[in-house]
């Protein structure tokens, strides 16, 4: 059973009203380019959210997080506009980085790196993925090529990273590297760093199909980055463990935010289909269009239930890869179908930038790759199916 506290429900309502009344009018603001909204626009929106009392709304005043089920509702409401999560400061990678630091950071690291994020005064970046041409880590983290080595009371990091969201303009960085030290057993390490740093150089910002995140997605070179030992999260070799803490809910929170925008796209497509006349009647009265919107309504409800189910299991502390992979796969793929039907129902208007429907289509296409592509999750499920079959034969 999904349990939403009255406090969370009230905050979700405040977020929805803020996004609909304040944020949506900014969707035609020209302070955006192919790499996302400018930092000036993001800062202005965050100030509006602060005034409205909905900045980082998923975190209570005492620093504790709402449950994953409650967070799902709040993030869904923020997602009614692609600018909503930016305004409320619940967009990736910041939301995931705040979650990780809140879970495993020391008091000193929280004060130095987490506090500026929670206050909305800083953006962050998560440096994990590496360029394919280097043979580096992507869905397979064991291929990590970036290295770190002790040097007195510091660690020295070298390597390249790719698809680093928000690196341009970020103030806080979380860098993953593979230790060369014997006592770490060659495991990964995770470091917190202040940005910008001359040892971290942006080679280029990639041109990608999506355009919702400030700073875009960058290719990064790291040359002899020196990081104090006390800026490591945990111990040497524990980086992959902490990465799982961050990534376990990561694609699920994407599901929450993009579900909100899918609901908005359905509203726009419905309004269009009910007003647009063709062959003597509104488009919605033609089965070809009406049935698409009907299927969207079914699929939006299914996505909501799947997210709430997975979030509830996550809250119970019993979440395994099966529940996570099923929810992340189903919602990502289904949202793409919803977006496609909205575009189709709106015809030529659906492929223009006159509404957010076209942007949703682009964003959710990229979303099917975020935080591990759909195929990796299905591969994980297939291995589980095979293991269960073998156990049943014994």
Q: How far apart are CA 37 and CA 60, in angstroms?
A: 27
Architecture per CATH, 125-236 = Beta Barrel (2.40)
pLDDT score for 181: 75
Domain covering 248-393 in this structure, CATH number: 1.20.140.10
Q: Do 125-236 and 248-393 share a fold?
A: no
Cα 269 to chain centroid, rounded: 25
Residue 66 tokens, joined: 């709402």
The predicted model scores a pTM of 0.94
Q: Considering the chain, what percentage of its residues have pLDDT values greater than 90? A: 83
Quickly tell me which residue has 């990064």 as its tokens.
220
In angstroms, the CA 271 to CA 266 distance is 8
Q: What percent of the chain has pLDDT over 70?
A: 97
Task: Identify which of 98, 99, 54, 105 has the alpha carbon closest to the alpha carbon of residue 80.
Answer: 54
Residue 6's pLDDT is what?
A: 96
Answer yes or no: are the C-beta atoms of 49 and 88 closer than 8 Å: yes
Lowest mean pLDDT among 53-57, 119-123, 235-239, 320-324: 320-324
On the question of pLDDT at 185 being above 70, the answer is: no
Q: What pLDDT shows up at residue 22?
A: 98
For the chain, domain boundaries? 6-91, 125-236, 248-393
* pLDDT for residue 183 is more than 60: no
For residue 131 the two structure tokens come to: 């360029």
Indicate the pLDDT class of residue 2, thresholds 50, 70 and 90. Answer: low
Whole-angstrom distance, CA of residue 126 vs CA of residue 96 = 9
Determine contact, residues 88/57, Cβ cutoff 8 Å. Answer: yes
| pLDDT digit string, tens, across residues 15-42 | 999 999 999 999 999 999 999 999 999 9
pLDDT at 251: 82
Q: How many CB atoms lie within 10 A of CB 168?
A: 21
Region 228-234 average pLDDT = 93
Q: Distance between CA 165 and CA 366 in Å, rounded?
A: 13
Is pLDDT at 358 greater than 80 in this prediction? Answer: yes
Q: What's the rounded Cα separation, in Å, for the pair 175 and 146?
A: 9
**Residue with tokens 């799982």, as numbered in its chain:** 244
> In 315-336, which positions are buried (b, 16+ CB within 10 angstroms) versus exposed (e)?
beeebeeebbbbbbbbbbebbb
Query: What are 361's two structure tokens?
Result: 């289509």
Phi then psi dihedrals of residue 163, to 5 deg = 55, 40
17 touches 81 (CB < 8 A):
no
Place of tokens 């395994």: 320
| Pairing label, strands 200-206, 217-228 | antiparallel
Of how many residues is the chain composed? 394
Q: Could you tell me the pLDDT band of residue 366, with boundaries at 50, 70 and 90?
A: very high
Whether the pLDDT of residue 319 is over 70: the answer is: no
Q: Decide: 165 and 128 in contact? Cβ < 8 Å.
A: no
**Side-chain half-sphere CA neighbours of 191 within 13 A:** 27
| Burial environment of residue 56 by CB neighbours within 10 A (0 to 12, 13 to 18, 19 or more) | buried
**217-228/154-165 β-pairing:** antiparallel
Average pLDDT on 122-140 reads: 94
Element (H, E) at 279: none
Q: Using alpha carbons, select from 259, 337, 254 the residue that is nearest to residue 296.
A: 337
* R_g (Cα) of the chain, nearest Å: 21
């Amino acid at each position: 059973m999904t349990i939403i506290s009255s406090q969370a429900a009230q905050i979700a309502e405040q977020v929805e009203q803020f996004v609909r009344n304040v944020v949506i009018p900014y969707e035609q603001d020209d302070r955006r380019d192919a790499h996302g909204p400018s930092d000036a626009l993001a800062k202005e929106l965050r100030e509006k959210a602060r005034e409205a009392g909905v900045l980082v709304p998923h975190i209570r005043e005492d620093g504790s997080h709402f449950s994953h089920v409650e967070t799902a509702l709040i993030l869904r409401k923020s997602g009614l506009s692609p600018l909503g999560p930016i305004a409320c400061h619940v967009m990736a990678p910041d939301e995931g980085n705040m979650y990780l630091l809140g879970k495993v950071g020391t008091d000193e690291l929280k004060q130095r790196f987490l506090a500026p994020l929670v206050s909305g005064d800083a953006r962050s970046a998560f440096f994990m993925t590496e360029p394919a041409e280097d043979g580096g880590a992507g869905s397979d983290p064991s291929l990590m090529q970036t290295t770190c080595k002790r040097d007195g009371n510091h660690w020295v990091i070298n390597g390249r990273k790719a698809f680093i969201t928000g690196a341009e303009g970020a103030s806080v960085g979380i860098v993953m590297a593979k230790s060369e030290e014997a006592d770490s057993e060659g495991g990964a390490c995770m470091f917190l760093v202040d940005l910008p740093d001359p040892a971290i150089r942006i080679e280029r910002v990639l041109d990608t199909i999506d355009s919702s995140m400030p700073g875009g997605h960058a290719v990064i070179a790291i040359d002899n980055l020196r990081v104090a030992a006390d800026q490591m999260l945990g111990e040497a070799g524990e980086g992959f463990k902490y990465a799982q803490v961050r990534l376990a809910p990561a694609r699920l929170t994407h599901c929450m935010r993009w579900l909100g925008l899918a609901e908005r796209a359905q509203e726009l497509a419905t309004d269009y289909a009910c007003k647009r006349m063709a062959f003597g009647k509104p488009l919605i009265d033609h089965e070809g269009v009406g049935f698409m919107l009907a299927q969207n309504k079914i699929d939006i409800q299914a996505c909501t239930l799947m997210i709430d189910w997975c979030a509830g299991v996550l809250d119970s502390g019993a979440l395994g890869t099966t529940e996570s992979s099923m929810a992340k796969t189903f919602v990502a793929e289904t949202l793409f179908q919803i977006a496609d039907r909205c575009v189709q129902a709106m015809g030529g208007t659906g492929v223009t930038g006159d509404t957010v429907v076209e942007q949703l289509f682009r964003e959710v296409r990229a979303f099917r790759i975020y935080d591990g592509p759909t195929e990796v999750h299905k591969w994980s499920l297939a291995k589980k199916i095979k293991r269960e079959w073998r156990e049943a034969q014994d």
